[in-house]
């Protein structure tokens, strides 16, 4: 009697990991085709570009504007959009579009992807995410068009506006202008603030969007005081908004101070333009990748600050990468509670569960370990390169940022493979990758509670 074939069932995290891998490889093959290129391209470069696009990073080994044909650029844009929304969201959105019923298992996948509390309204929430994404990208495209259309004409101006709006909102940072990114627009307020708006909107997270929208709607309908829009927010939304604001302000102040007299970056700008350029640099290090000032010309202090901001990244459930603002906030609050002699992590009048604190510690530990291991490999493969610049590129990869100190194109193929792996892990999440490889199970490992032991630390 033949044994029945065992059906392989993948959990949500495995679907996400394999889904991104599949899209990356497919994108690499498409971008490798002659029809997508103005000149021959190595498959590794095509795969690297696909990885950067799907992982919404922005690091490139080629110059997209000169390397790819219009077809190649359109494919690149689709890869960025899929990477920004996420494979699960795009797949489920397609199923809804063709009127296929979403099963309970698929609803669970949506719930786990966005870390929602219950299964009710998952399809409606997903549709709002997709519609909201297109709406914000459309706003960005209209704003960009006021600059691009006068410069490039109607057709090309609209194309550039759409491409860069999607790239900015998805926090990809890939442009099709030239090799200087947005540096020609360093003094252009529309370009600067439109890009910053799109980056921050994408980095806040879809769950926070939905909550803000709901609170604004209820406040208007019930004619409540404006302060209720804030007080009714969840702890998650409050932490995201506070940490996002704090990091942008601190980053702006730091970069403004470090670069004020630097002739390679902002020294020749007016006072107001220096503030705008510093703010843009602070925002773009939060996983976007666009640049209005030379990244290679940054001072050592600014590069190190940039590494910190890039590794922190944006917020959960959005288009940004990194360890996430909420993770860092939770660890800071845990440190503060310990210093004050409290045995619980408190935030906005509530208590953060110990399991969440442990998860945050795991995320930070794994991320830093991968970052250091990646840096160690790159320094081995390219021993003559500047260490801080390597750290900058590696931080950009693991944080899915895409800012480059003009080093990526100079690295060896082995280092490019390391950066691809870091971009991939940074996009799906270090803890997701660890759980996928570790084969996490929800079953209890045993019913016997082990005795508590003490270990000296500090």
156-170, 268-282, 348-362: least confident range: 348-362
Residues in the chain: 458
- Report the pLDDT value the prediction gives residue 29, as an integer from 0 to 100: 96
- Report the pLDDT value the prediction gives residue 37, as an integer from 0 to 100: 96
35-39, 100-104, 208-212, 243-247: least confident range: 100-104
How confident is the model over 211-241, as pLDDT tens digits? 888 887 777 777 777 776 777 788 888 888 9
- Report the pLDDT value the prediction gives residue 111, as an integer from 0 to 100: 65
| Percentage with pLDDT > 90 across the chain | 45
Asked if 50 contacts 82 with a C-beta cutoff of 8 angstroms, the reply is no
Query: How large is the average pLDDT for residues 404-419?
Result: 92
104-118, 166-180, 209-223: least confident range: 104-118
Query: In sequence order, which residues have a C-beta less than 8 Å from that of residue 155 and are 6 or more positions away?
Result: none
CA pair distance 419, 398, nearest whole angstrom:
8
CA pair distance 396, 419, nearest whole angstrom:
9
CA pair distance 404, 394, nearest whole angstrom:
9
Reply yes or no on whether the pLDDT at 445 is more than 70: no
More confident residue, 341 or 107: 341
Please list the residues that pair with 37 across neighbouring strands: 68
42-56, 307-321, 391-405: least confident range: 307-321
How confident is the model over 138-151, as pLDDT tens digits? 999 999 999 999 99
Reply yes or no on whether the pLDDT at 7 is more than 60: no
How confident is the model over 349-382, as pLDDT tens digits? 778 888 888 888 888 999 999 999 999 999 999 9
- Report the pLDDT value the prediction gives residue 221, as an integer from 0 to 100: 76
CA pair distance 346, 362, nearest whole angstrom:
19
- Report the pLDDT value the prediction gives residue 368, as an integer from 0 to 100: 93
- Report the pLDDT value the prediction gives residue 400, as an integer from 0 to 100: 87
88-92, 248-252, 413-417: least confident range: 88-92
């Amino acid at each position: 009697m033949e044994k029945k074939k065992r059906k392989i069932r993948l959990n949500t995290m495995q679907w996400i990991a394999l889904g991104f891998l599949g899209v990356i490889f497919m994108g690499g093959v498409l971008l490798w085709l002659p029809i997508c290129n103005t000149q021959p391209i190595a498959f590794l470069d095509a795969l690297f570009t696909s990885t950067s696009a799907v992982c919404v990073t922005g690091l490139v080994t080629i110059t997209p504007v000169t390397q790819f044909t219009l077809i190649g650029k359109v494919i690149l844009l689709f890869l960025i959009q899929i990477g920004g929304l996420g494979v699960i969201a795009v797949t489920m959105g397609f199923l809804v579009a063709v009127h296929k019923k979403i099963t309970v298992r698929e609803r669970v996948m949506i719930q786990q992807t966005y870390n929602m509390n219950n299964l009710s309204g998952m399809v409606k929430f997903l549709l709002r995410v997709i519609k909201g994404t297109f709406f914000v990208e459309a706003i960005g495209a209209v704003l960009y068009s006021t600059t691009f259309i006068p410069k490039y004409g109607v057709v090309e101006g609209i194309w550039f506006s759409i491409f860069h709006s999607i790239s900015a909102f998805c926090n990809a940072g890939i442009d099709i202008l030239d090799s200087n990114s947005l540096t020609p627009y360093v003094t252009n307020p529309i370009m600067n603030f439109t890009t910053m708006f799109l980056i921050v909107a994408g980095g806040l997270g879809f769950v926070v969007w939905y909550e803000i929208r709901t609170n604004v709607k209820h406040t208007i309908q019930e004619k409540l005081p404006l302060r209720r829009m804030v007080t009714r927010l969840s702890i998650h939304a409050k932490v995201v908004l506070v940490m996002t604001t704090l990091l942008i302000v601190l980053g702006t102040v730091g970069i403004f101070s470090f670069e004020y007299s630097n002739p390679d970056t902002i020294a020749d700008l007016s006072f107001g333009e220096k503030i705008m350029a510093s703010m843009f640099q602070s925002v773009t290090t939060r996983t976007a990748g666009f640049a209005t000032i030379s990244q290679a010309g940054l001072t050592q202090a600014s590069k190190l600050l940039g590494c910190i901001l890039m590794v922190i990244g944006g917020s959960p459930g959005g288009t940004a990468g990194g360890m996430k603002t909420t993770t860092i906030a939770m660890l800071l609050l845990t440190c503060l509670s310990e210093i004050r002699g409290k045995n619980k992590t408190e935030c906005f009048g509530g208590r953060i569960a110990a399991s969440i604190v442990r998860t945050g510690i795991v995320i930070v530990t794994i991320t830093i370990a991968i970052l250091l291991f990646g840096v160690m490999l790159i320094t081995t493969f390219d021993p003559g390169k500047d260490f801080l610049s390597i750290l900058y590129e590696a931080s950009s990869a693991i944080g899915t940022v895409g800012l480059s100190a003009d080093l990526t194109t100079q690295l060896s193929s082995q280092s490019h493979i390391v950066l691809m792996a870091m971009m991939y892990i940074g996009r799906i999440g270090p803890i997701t990758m660890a759980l996928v490889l570790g084969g996490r199970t929800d079953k209890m490992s045993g019913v016997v509670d082990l005795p508590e032991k003490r270990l000296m630390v500090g």
